[in-house]
Amino acid sequence: MLTLSGAPLLARFLLATSLLACGFANAGRPLTVDDANTDDAGSGHVEGWYARQPGRANTWTVAPAYAPIDGLELGALATRDRTAASTSQSLQAKWRITPSRENGCNSAAVLGVSQTRGQSGTTPFLNGLLTCSSTWGATHMNLGAQRAPGGPGVGSWGLAHEREWGQVTMHAEAFGQRLAKPTFQMGVRTNLARQLQVDATLGRINRETLFSVGLKQSF
């Protein structure tokens, strides 16, 4: 298992982004833990953000998503690590298995694949999602796995809770993968306009501070 302190820049980037590839790839900003909901049929969104990742990696990400039919959302993600001069991409499909509920739980599943440019092979990932909503907010639970080229399958997990406070929605979350230390993170989002969201996160992993700022445009 690679350690962040001794790995070269590219290895640090691959380790940092492996958490995102474990089914967290296209979680709705600013969450990393995914929710079990999809956009309405015929609608979608584009998210973009800057993040400081483990190993002091400076990354820029663009992630569009679109729901062609009710309960199915197709998404893509492209991340450029300016520190290691490396680019990764992923494609995924999210299927909402049960209808969303204002008071109660619903489930979904994500299937996707990611690849880092210049590296041979692809990394498939699968993630099960559960969202439970109430007057106290929404709790999201993820459980999944990924398999890097030539390597064994690695389990992943995530737990998050978010709640609205007036015009602002805040969340706290923890996520990680087997044999690695978890990431703890908090985030906030609000709308600048009806379909334009601004958001930010602040987190910690392995004594490092992580942060991100982003925008989300719905259509």
If DSSP codes are grouped into helix, strand and coil, which group holds residue 12?
Answer: helix
Are 29 and 199 in contact by the 8 Å Cβ rule? The answer is: yes
- How high is the pLDDT of residue 24? 54
Residue 33 to residue 26: CA distance in whole angstroms: 9
Q: 3-class SS at 23?
A: helix
CA distances from 1 to 25, 102, 158, 160, 178 (A): 21, 41, 20, 26, 11
Q: pLDDT tens for the chain, 219 residues: list them.
A: 333 333 443 334 344 444 443 435 468 999 999 999 999 999 999 999 999 998 889 999 999 999 999 999 999 999 999 998 899 999 999 999 999 999 999 999 999 999 998 888 999 999 999 999 999 999 999 999 999 888 899 999 999 999 999 999 999 999 999 889 999 999 999 999 999 999 999 999 999 999 999 999 999
The helix (H) or strand (E) run that includes residue 164 is strand 153-165
CATH of region 9-218: 2.40.160.40
CA distance 190 to 164: 10
d(CA 153, CA 108): 21
Contacts of 37 (CB under 8 A, 6+ apart): 96, 100, 106, 108, 131
For 65-105, give the DSSP string. Answer: EEEEETTEEEEEEEEEETTTTEEEEEEEEEEE-S---SSEE
- Asked whether the beta carbons of 25 and 16 are under 8 A apart, the reply is no
User: How far is C-alpha 153 from the chain's CA centre?
Assistant: 19
User: How would you class 206 by CB atoms within 10 Å of its CB: exposed for 0-12, middle for 13-18, buried for 19 or more?
Assistant: middle
